[in-house]
Amino acid sequence: MTNLGIIFLTGVTTGGLSCMAVQGGLLAGTLAQQVEKKEIKQRAVGTITIFLVAKLIAYTILGFLLGWLGTILQLSPTMRAYLQLFIGIFLIGTALRLFNVHPIFRHFIIEPPKVITKYIRKLAKNRDDDLATPAFLGALTIFIPCGVTQAMLLLAMATGNPFQAALIMFAFVLGTSPIFFGLVYMATRLGEKLQGQFLKVAAVVVLILGLISLEGGLNLMGSPISYAAFSAWLNQDDSANSALVATTSPTQSQNQSVETENAITIKVDDSDGYTPAVAQARAAQPLTVTFTTNGTRSCARSVVFRTLGLQKVLPESGNTQITIPSQPSGTTVKYTCSMGMYRGQINFN
Partner 1 sequence: MQTRNYKVVMRCSSCAMILEGLEDLSGIEKVIANYKKEQLEIVFDETMIAEVDILEAIEKGGYQVSP
- Looking at 48, 92, 151, 199, which residue binds partner 1 (CB under 8 A)? 199
> If binding is defined by CB under 8 A, does position 121 make contact with partner 1?
yes
> If binding is defined by CB under 8 A, does position 154 make contact with partner 1?
no
| Stretch touching partner 1 by CB under 8 A, among 73-81, 118-126, 210-218, 244-252 | 118-126
- Looking at 15, 63, 70, 147, which residue binds partner 1 (CB under 8 A)? 147
| Closest distance to partner 1 from the beta carbon of 21 (Å) | 5
| Closest distance to partner 1 from the beta carbon of 183 (Å) | 14
Q: How buried is residue 316: exposed, middle or buried, by Cβ count under 10 Å (0-12/13-18/19+)?
A: exposed
Peptide bond into 328 cis (omega under 30): no
- Looking at 18, 265, 280, 296, which residue binds partner 1 (CB under 8 A)? 18
| Closest distance to partner 1 from the beta carbon of 84 (Å) | 24
Long-range contacts of the stretch 258-261 (C-beta < 8 A, 24+): none
| Stretch touching partner 1 by CB under 8 A, among 76-84, 111-119, 247-255, 335-343 | 111-119
Chain CA centroid to CA 197, Å: 24
Q: CB-wise, 106 or 297, nearer to partner 1?
A: 106
**Beta strand 263-269 pairing with 287-293:** parallel
- Looking at 5, 32, 40, 118, which residue binds partner 1 (CB under 8 A)? 118
> If binding is defined by CB under 8 A, does position 179 make contact with partner 1?
no
Distances (CA, A) of 99 to 94, 95, 202: 9, 6, 9
> If binding is defined by CB under 8 A, does position 273 make contact with partner 1?
no
51, 137 in Cβ contact below 8 A?
yes
- Looking at 21, 57, 61, 283, which residue binds partner 1 (CB under 8 A)? 21
Q: Strand (E) positions, the chain?
A: 263-269, 273-275, 278-281, 287-293, 302-305, 310-313, 318-324, 332-337, 343-348
29, 124 in Cβ contact below 8 A?
yes
| Closest distance to partner 1 from the beta carbon of 41 (Å) | 25
> If binding is defined by CB under 8 A, does position 200 make contact with partner 1?
no
Number of residues that bind partner 1 (CB under 8 A): 24
| Stretch touching partner 1 by CB under 8 A, among 67-75, 187-195, 238-246, 268-276 | 187-195
Angle at 159 between CA 296 and CA 211, to 5 degrees: 100
- Looking at 3, 101, 106, 290, which residue binds partner 1 (CB under 8 A)? 106
Q: What residues form DSSP beta bridges with 345?
A: 278, 334
> If binding is defined by CB under 8 A, does position 41 make contact with partner 1?
no
How far apart CA 209 and CA 319 sit, in angstroms, is: 32
How far apart CA 71 and CA 297 sit, in angstroms, is: 17
Angle at 260 between CA 321 and CA 301, to 5 degrees: 30
How far apart CA 339 and CA 311 sit, in angstroms, is: 12
| Stretch touching partner 1 by CB under 8 A, among 58-66, 112-120, 203-211, 239-247 | 112-120
- Looking at 33, 34, 78, 195, which residue binds partner 1 (CB under 8 A)? 195
DSSP 159-191: H--HHHHHHHHHHHHHHHHHHHHHHHHTT----
Q: CB-wise, 125 or 297, nearer to partner 1?
A: 125
Q: CB-wise, 121 or 312, nearer to partner 1?
A: 121
- Contact residues: partner 1, CB under 8 A: 17-19, 21-22, 25, 98, 103, 106-107, 109, 111, 114, 117-118, 121, 125, 144, 146-147, 189, 192, 195, 199
